[in-house]
Every structure is written in C-alpha cells, then in structure tokens.
Amino acid sequence: VEEVRGLGVVGEQPVIAPGHSYAYASGCPLGAPSGSMVGAYTLADAQGRSFEVAIPAFSLDVPDSRRVLN
C-alpha cells in the first residue's frame, strides 16, 4: 500500500469552468503485474469552499501481462 498526497494533479492546479472538464494521464511504479488504485481529490469552488470528490477503485495492469482479478 502506498499513499500519495500533494497539491495538484501531475504538477498542475487546473481551474475548471462550469460545463468543462479536465483530463490527464499519469503513471506509477508497480511492483506486481496488477494492482488497484482508489482515493479522492479535494477541490475548491469559486468561493473557496473545499469539498472532496471520491475516485472509485480502478485496476492497474502491466501491459501485455496476464491479468489477475482480485
């Protein structure tokens, strides 16, 4: 288990206007052929009020390796 905390996403702190979205690509070292990731982002609205958005669990798999469902 590894916990990641920090300001921003891949070094950015985007401002997302209503009706718009933000996408990014990232990676992580994986010491096994498969794993999973889950978490949350803490965001702030236009008035500076913070709120948390859950990130549902998703799988991490090394490309071209045998996949194991946990």
CB of 59 within 8 A of CB of 38? Answer: no
- Residue-wise pLDDT for 11-35, tens only, equals 788 999 999 999 988 877 778 878 8
- pTM of the full structure: 0.65
Distances (CA, A) of 29 to 7, 43, 57: 20, 26, 17
- Quickly state the pLDDT bin for 2 (edges 50, 70, 90): confident
